Structure 1
Amino acid sequence: MRHQRTLEMLRAELDRIDVEFLASLGARVAVCRSIAHYKREHGVPMMQPHRIGMVQQRAAQFADATGLDRTFMKQLYDLIIAETCRIEDLIIDADLDGSAA
């Protein structure tokens, strides 16, 4: 019984962390939307390869510091970056009436 309670407590902690993680991901996407609106208003190209490189380098450093696999972190950030690029494209390319944003 005691082991089951310990496992339940650990899972509850994991669930709490997942909620925080998803909230942080949502906040990240919200900032990316703001960036896309800025880029649209100021004629800045959506793709910023140097910025992507910086983000991926930071993720690799995090992987090294925490014992995570670099390939895992690269794949995770490739997915996050691809989704935010998709969202930025929608916002930047939206009709002036904002129908796609």
Structure 2
Amino acid sequence: MLVNPAAEVTIDDLRAELDAIDERFLEELRARIEKCVEIGHFKRDNSVPMMQPHRIGIVQERAAKFGAEHGINQEFLRRLYDLIIEETCRVENLVIGDSA
């Protein structure tokens, strides 16, 4: 949502913009988890081990580089990705363990 610069911006306007960003962020997170479910099915069907430590390193390094390039705290991004990776590993484990 773009706010008319000639109009006075209110806190509600700013919060509405933030809410829209949060909605997009959560939709992308959902899409990421769904892709991990798809990856879990692939791993199960092709006997690929669930844990891929090198891949985790690649993802975390990419996040750190993004943080450095965009002025976002790298430690924050590392912790955020630790949580995301923990959840996606949990989801992949459920998929891989599910024989249906």
Query: TM-score under structure 1 normalisation?
Result: 0.88
Instruction: Count how many residue pairs are aligned between Structure 1 and Structure 2.
Output: 94
2:75 partner letter: T
**What corresponds to 1:40 in structure 2?**
44
Q: Partners of 1:89 and 1:22 in 2: how far apart?
A: 22
User: Is 11-20 or 61-70 further displaced after alignment?
Assistant: 61-70
Any gaps of 5 or more consecutive residues in structure 1?
Answer: none
Q: Which runs of 4+ in 1 moved over 3 A?
A: none
**What corresponds to 1:17 in structure 2?**
21
Q: Partners of 1:68 and 1:17 in 2: how far apart?
A: 16
Cα offset, 1:55, TM superposition? 0.3
Query: TM-score under structure 2 normalisation?
Result: 0.89
**What corresponds to 1:7 in structure 2?**
11
Asked if 1:50 is matched to 2:54, the reply is: yes
Cα RMSD of the aligned pairs, angstroms, is 1.3
Q: Partners of 1:6 and 1:32 in 2: how far apart?
A: 39
More helix by share: 1
Cα offset, 1:28, TM superposition? 0.3
Q: Encode CA deviations 1:21-40: one digit per residue, 9 max, x unaligned.
A: 00000000000000000000
Asked if 1:80 is matched to 2:95, the reply is: no
Q: Encode CA deviations 1:5-58: one digit per residue, 9 max, x unaligned.
A: 521111100000000000000000000000000000000000011111110000
2:20 partner letter: R
**What corresponds to 1:92 in structure 2?**
96
Q: Partners of 1:30 and 1:63 in 2: how far apart?
A: 25
**What corresponds to 1:30 in structure 2?**
34
**What corresponds to 1:62 in structure 2?**
66
Any gaps of 5 or more consecutive residues in structure 2?
Answer: 1-6
